[in-house]
Structures are given as structure tokens and as C-alpha cells.
Amino acid sequence: MERIRTAEQLHRIRASREQMSLERREQGIVEVRVALATCGLASGAKSTYEYLVEELPKRHIEARVLRTGCMGYCYAEPTIEVTLPGAEPMVFGGVDPARADQIIERYIRQGEMVDGHIPRNYEKVTLE
């Protein structure tokens, strides 16, 4: 990696990341975030993550599955956040592989609501 020496170079990386996520949305790629902090891991989020990484391609769903830190819903671990192209992110709690299966089949495929949906209760700052 070449060291970044200017704010412009930094900005280019940022812009290219934004571009990539835009393209993913246009190509209909689903984004799935799995909260894999200590709390999530302790309640089995690793198997949820592995299940998603394995099953989504098997079921021919193009998705980007990310490991993230804590989403803050300790009472509902393992938690995942699913962003369908063009839709608001949806958080689901208590996602064991069985529920992950439901989420894939019903929410991701058909856009139907499934059990375990957690309404997002926060705003976050964005850095310009």
C-alpha cells in the first residue's frame, strides 16, 4: 500500500468506497451486517455469520456479508442488519440459523416482515 500523503488521496478512497456501495445497490446486491463484538460472539453470532456466508451464495443471493462491532442490542443478540437495495436498513434480533433462514427466504427474497425485527432507535452523525 502506498502511504497516503494528502487529503485528496484520502478523499479518493472515500469516494471510491461510496461509489462501490452505490454500484452494489444498483446491481441489487444485499448488504448484511452481523454484530460480531464480544457480546455477539458470546451469544453465538459466529455461527449466524458462517451460516449467512455459506447459505446466501448457495441460494443465489448476491450479498456482501460484513463483520461489524456492537450494534447495541445486547438483549437481542445475535443481531444482524439487512439492507436491501433501495430500502432502509432493517435490524433483526435473536438471529440463530433458523431465523437467518427465515430472513433469507421471507425478507430478503420477498420483502416480507419476519419475527425479530427491531425498530432502529437512534440517529447517528455522519462526517462530511
State the residue for C-alpha cell 451460516: 51
Q: What three-state secondary structure class fits 104?
A: helix
Name which of 71, 81, 84 is nearest 39 in CA terms: 71
Least distance from another protein to the Cβ atom of residue 51, Å? 18
Binding mask 30-69 for another protein (x = CB under 8 A): ---x-x-xxx-x------------------------xxxx
Q: Which residues in 16-55 contact ligand FES (CB under 6 A)?
A: 37, 39
Can you tell me the distance from the alpha carbon of 124 to that of 20, in angstroms, rounded to the nearest whole number?
22
* 73 touches ligand FES (CB under 6 A): yes
> Between residues 38 and 110, which has the closer beta carbon with respect to another protein?
38
Task: Point out which residues pair with 64 in neighbouring strands.
Answer: 31
User: Residue 17: which of ligand FES, another protein, none does it interact with, CB under 5 to 8 A by kind?
Assistant: another protein
- Measured from the Cβ of residue 113, the count of other Cβ atoms closer than 10 Å reads 11
Binding site residues, ligand FES, CB under 6 A: 37, 39, 70, 72-74, 77
